[in-house]
Structure 1
Amino acid sequence: MAPEINGMLQKKRHYIDIGANLTDPMFRGSYHGKQSHDDDFDQVLKRATEQGVRKMLVTGSNLIESRSAIQLARNHQKLLYATVGVHPCHSFDIENSPNAEKYLQDLEALAVAGKEEGAVRAFGEIGLDYARFHYAPADIQRKYFIKQLDIAERLHLPLFLHSRDCAEDFEAILIPRLPNLPKRGVVHSFTGTLEEMQSLVALGFSIGINGCSLKTEESLEVVKAIPLDKIMLETDAPWCEIRPSHASSKFLKKGDQDVELPPMVKKEKFVMGSMVRGRCEPCAISQVASVVAAVKEITLDELCEMAWKNCVKMFGFDDDL
């Protein structure tokens, strides 16, 4: 029987959530600029650790969020770590800054300092997103993907990559850089085709899977084909929850302790200790793992062990549970 900690049964399985947007105001009770309920950030972390999450990468999406991610990592050492980078949908944060080159210099300095103190374990979220040109057009996205890869070549950190509907340009930009990016990285929140996945794996990249990666039957076939030594698990919280309409939902059985989450309430009826409906949390990684294991027809323990090893190896985490 598993040991008890503080009167609670410790879960045997353990997880690393490689993508959690914990700087999002939702985790402080604020939605679209309106405070809807009390700050429950500590409860979010508590639920995650009780579900078996032992480490989380807090995603940096621009300079401000990257600074905040590092501060969270400092405040919660051994549990939270940070990435530093500018998401393609935030490309105008650089372009419209008073001095774009200084913005990039500040970004690199932040990443270097964070790496040295052990808080920063990946450079990103960087890449391309051709599904959301209303945030930034393709040419601006490419411009700052390239400029951030210049930084990446000097940093020697694994990459935390974003690729959406852009496979041809994404690989065309990345491939010439590969000799100077020996640590490769992970393409997170993967929603591409089987051929795109196979190409990325052949280039040496790992694939991050969350609820958005498991929406359709076609997506499930892609996940089934990912080599076990290239798979990583994530939630992309507060986004990318598994919904009843998703193809993956049929693998989540009511009453299954492996996927059972705390009660959920609407934010308007918030009760401290409950999850908020529609706000994905890192504790939900157990559901992602359960679906992936079922799709790949392996045990949940086998999947968790491999995903853990993959993350420890890439991001230089210690192996302590």
Structure 2
Amino acid sequence: MATETNGVLQNMRQYIDIGANLTDPMFRGFYHGKQSHADDFDEVVKRAIQQGVRKMLVTGSNLTESESAMQLARLHQKLLYATVGVHPCHSLEVENNLDPAKYLQDLEDLALKGKREGTVMAFGEIGLDYARLHYAPADIQRKYFIKQLDIAERLDLPLFLHSRDCAVDFEAILVPRLPKLPKRGVVHSFTGTIEEMQSLVALGFSIGVNGCSLKTEENLEVVKAIPLDKIMLETDAPWCEIRPSHASSKFLKANNEHDELPPSVKKEKFVMGTMVRGRCEPCTISQVASVVAALKGVTLEDLCETAWKNCVTMFGFDEEL
């Protein structure tokens, strides 16, 4: 891809981060309810832009976060966009609400409003997570996955899906709905098996890859097998960074192509302009891209261009920057 600066065309890698939890308090300096450093949200956004991130989907995990994500999208038009939905780990929040039906109606109304105004590009994060049943039991997760798919059929938006250790139930619920979900969507932060990935791809879904998708050698084999036209890149910030202990880290050490990131410090030693150690940011999408390109045996530029096209095609982003 190329950009024009002072009339001169320059090559620049451009990214769309399809999963950034920018409503998380960490980006305002709060950790576990306590403020550890100054609000550096604007610096986080600036670093992302400097690294080539041109679009970000801000994840909505419940009604409140979805509203906050939409507000961020209004404040940062053409850069930030929102998803609206209830994450499976938040499904008890709906079940225990005084009026669950109203909660779901409010969710649908919010998504429709965001779709009309151009701030909402996907419905989610919805799905199942059997790895964290301490947040919500499986039957409650299934109940609200089904109810949110009812909403999805009326919205006609791509889905932003979560699937963790639940492949059989996930597909059993999802597959009968597919005729009424023509825009399909993306299964983000994918950590499943090759067979699970291939099944989802055969159903028409794209696969979101971040640091959590690149932890083990088995994970790397899965990413290697994802068709290029089904890959999307993400960070899931502030989670899912690539850590030195991850199988993918060896590619970062061996490959100098990915752009240099700013220095990081512990939150207790925070200085404005530095990254916070252990807090993933959208700017680190360049690391995810570098690993994926190496695994796929393609240039970083070709991977970025393909991932960009995949996202624009699915979500309908305006390519004007």
Query: Fold-level match, TM-score > 0.5?
Result: yes
Deviation at 1:174, TM superposition (A): 0.2
Cα 1:163/1:118, change in 2 over 3 Å: same
Q: How does 1:169-208 map to 2 (within 5 A)?
A: 169-208=169-208
Deviation at 1:320, TM superposition (A): 2.7
- Listed one character per residue, the Cα deviations across residues 32-54 of structure 1 (whole Å, up to 9, x for unaligned) are 00000000000000000000000
Q: Which amino acid aligns with 2:263?
A: P
Determine the structure 1 residue equivalent to 2:153. Answer: 153
Whether the aligned pair in 2 keeps the contact of 1:27 and 1:39 (CA below 8 Å) is: yes
Whether the aligned pair in 2 keeps the contact of 1:59 and 1:82 (CA below 8 Å) is: yes
Determine the structure 2 residue equivalent to 1:228. Answer: 228
Cα 1:19/1:126, change in 2 over 3 Å: same
For structure 2, list consecutive stretches of 5 or more residues without a partner in the other structure: none
SS at match of 1:224: helix
TM-score (norm: length of structure 1): 0.97
Determine the structure 2 residue equivalent to 1:270. Answer: 270
Q: Tell me, in whole angstroms, the C-alpha distance in 1 between the residues paired with 2:155 and 2:60.
A: 16
- Listed one character per residue, the Cα deviations across residues 126-165 of structure 1 (whole Å, up to 9, x for unaligned) are 0000000000000000000000000000000000000000
Q: Tell me, in whole angstroms, the C-alpha distance in 2 between the residues paired with 1:141 and 1:64.
A: 19
SS at match of 1:54: strand
Are residue 121 (structure 1) and residue 148 (structure 2) matched? Answer: no
Q: How does 1:35-50 map to 2 (within 5 A)?
A: 35-50=35-50
Whether the aligned pair in 1 keeps the contact of 2:229 and 2:307 (CA below 8 Å) is: yes
Deviation at 1:255, TM superposition (A): 8.6
User: Quick check: 159-168 or 248-257, which moved more?
Assistant: 248-257
Determine the structure 2 residue equivalent to 1:245. Answer: 245
Deviation at 1:245, TM superposition (A): 0.3
Q: Which amino acid aligns with 2:45?
A: L
SS at match of 1:247: coil
Whether the aligned pair in 2 keeps the contact of 1:88 and 1:145 (CA below 8 Å) is: yes
Q: Tell me, in whole angstroms, the C-alpha distance in 1 between the residues paired with 2:232 and 2:58.
A: 15
Deviation at 1:260, TM superposition (A): 1.6
Cα 1:61/1:3, change in 2 over 3 Å: closer
SS at match of 2:317: coil
Q: Which amino acid aligns with 1:102?
A: K
Whether the aligned pair in 2 keeps the contact of 1:229 and 1:307 (CA below 8 Å) is: yes
Q: Tell me, in whole angstroms, the C-alpha distance in 2 between the residues paired with 1:281 and 1:177.
A: 34
Determine the structure 2 residue equivalent to 1:25. Answer: 25
Deviation at 1:259, TM superposition (A): 3.6
Deviation at 1:28, TM superposition (A): 0.2
Determine the structure 2 residue equivalent to 1:212. Answer: 212
Identical-residue share of aligned pairs (%): 83
Whether the aligned pair in 1 keeps the contact of 2:51 and 2:259 (CA below 8 Å) is: no
Q: Which amino acid aligns with 2:169?
A: D
Deviation at 1:254, TM superposition (A): 7.4
User: Quick check: 255-264 or 14-23, which moved more?
Assistant: 255-264
Whether the aligned pair in 2 keeps the contact of 1:259 and 1:290 (CA below 8 Å) is: no
SS at match of 1:219: helix
Whether the aligned pair in 2 keeps the contact of 1:252 and 1:259 (CA below 8 Å) is: no
Q: Tell me, in whole angstroms, the C-alpha distance in 1 between the residues paired with 2:3 and 2:15.
A: 17
Deviation at 1:319, TM superposition (A): 1.9
Determine the structure 2 residue equivalent to 1:320. Answer: 320
Q: Tell me, in whole angstroms, the C-alpha distance in 1 between the residues paired with 2:218 and 2:252.
A: 18
Q: Tell me, in whole angstroms, the C-alpha distance in 2 between the residues paired with 1:261 and 1:110.
A: 36
User: Quick check: 247-256 or 69-78, which moved more?
Assistant: 247-256
Q: Which amino acid aligns with 1:298?
A: V
Corresponding residue pairs, total: 318
Deviation at 1:10, TM superposition (A): 7.4
Q: Tell me, in whole angstroms, the C-alpha distance in 2 between the residues paired with 1:31 and 1:130.
A: 26
Q: Which amino acid aligns with 1:216?
A: T
TM-score (norm: length of structure 2): 0.97
